[in-house]
Structure formats: structure tokens, C-alpha cells
Amino acid sequence: MVIGKPLLTVEQIQKKVKELAAIISEDYEGKEILAVGILRGAFIFFSDLVRHIQVPMNIDFIIASSYIKIQTSGDIKIHADLREDIKAKHVLLIEDIVDSGLTLKYIQEMLLARNPASLRTCTFLDKKSRRKTELKLDYIGFEIPDFYIVGYGLDYDNKFRNLPYISVFKEST
């Protein structure tokens, strides 16, 4: 296994998180957010982002999976659902990375069926070239090329989530 040089440094990440939080705070002025993190990948981005958002909020989490090692299975599993009732609430979904888009599409449809007042989605990273479904994304940190990446919450086989920066990962042959 090889971890390359940072694709995104700690400084670049933190600057972008603050920019996103400022836009979100402005958009939701006068409202209360229910911030929903998609675990496990989004745990670091979620905790960084919410600390910079300036409007009142509640938090909740969904635990979902679709990846088997490096390949998406396209078979989305919800391991733990929300504890909160989202009806009539302003839900902000927070995701680490969108690849095929199948995971988010599934979760967005599941939540929309529960009649929130609004549903917006924020993803830190977007591998747009890999998209397999149409998807509404309201806030995007960085659009990145089609690399498999690790760090800042993102894993390979549940490892490397604790790297403070984002790096390209290659399986050694």
C-alpha cells in the first residue's frame, strides 16, 4: 500500500471548511438546522464544519455503507438510522465524498419521504466524473479527479481515517 503526497493539505482543508460554513450560515440565517452526518467517512468533516456554522443547530447521524475495499458495491446498507424525527425541519446532510452518487441518492430519497421543511446536501469532495445518477448537491468543497483517496475521515479498508490531510492511495501489486 502506498500513501502519496497530500492532494489537499491541512491548511487547504481548513480554509475550505471555513468558507463553506460561512456560506451555509448566511443561507440559513434565522433558521435552525438539523445537521445530519453520514458515517463513518464524514465524521471529521462534520465536526470541523459544524464548529464554524453560526446558526442554531441540532445534530444527528446515519451510518451507511456501500464500499467493499476500493470498489463501490452499489448496494447501500443503512446500519443505523436517525434518532430525530425530521418532519418540518431544515435538514442539512453532510457527506465526505460523492463518487457514483448512489449512496447519497438513496439517503436523500429516504429523508425526503419523511417530509422535512427543506433538505440540502453538503459534500466536502466531489468525484463528479464518476457519477452514475443525477444528484442535487448544494454545497461542494472541492471537485477532485478520479483518484482513490484516504485521510480526513476517508478510509481504505477502515484504515487511514486519522490522517489529518487528504492523500491519493494506491494498492501495491
Active site residues: 99
Grid cell of 102 as nine digits: 448512489
158 class by beta-carbon count within 10 Å (0-12 exposed, 13-18 middle, 19+ buried): exposed
72: contact with ligand IMP by CB under 6 A: yes
21: contact with ligand IMP by CB under 6 A: no
Closest separation between CB of residue 72 and ligand IMP, Å? 4
What contacts 56, CB < 8 A, 6 or more positions away? Answer: 32, 33
Q: Where are the beta strands (DSSP E) in 1-56?
A: 2-8, 33-39
Q: Which of 13, 62, 102, 166 binds ligand IMP (CB under 6 A)?
A: 102
**In the window 108-147, what residues touch ligand IMP (CB under 6 A)?**
none
| Contact window for ligand IMP (CB under 6 A) among 6-14, 45-53, 54-62, 148-156 | 148-156
165: contact with ligand IMP by CB under 6 A: no
* Residues within the interface to ligand IMP (CB under 6 A): 41, 66-67, 72, 95-103, 148-150, 154-155
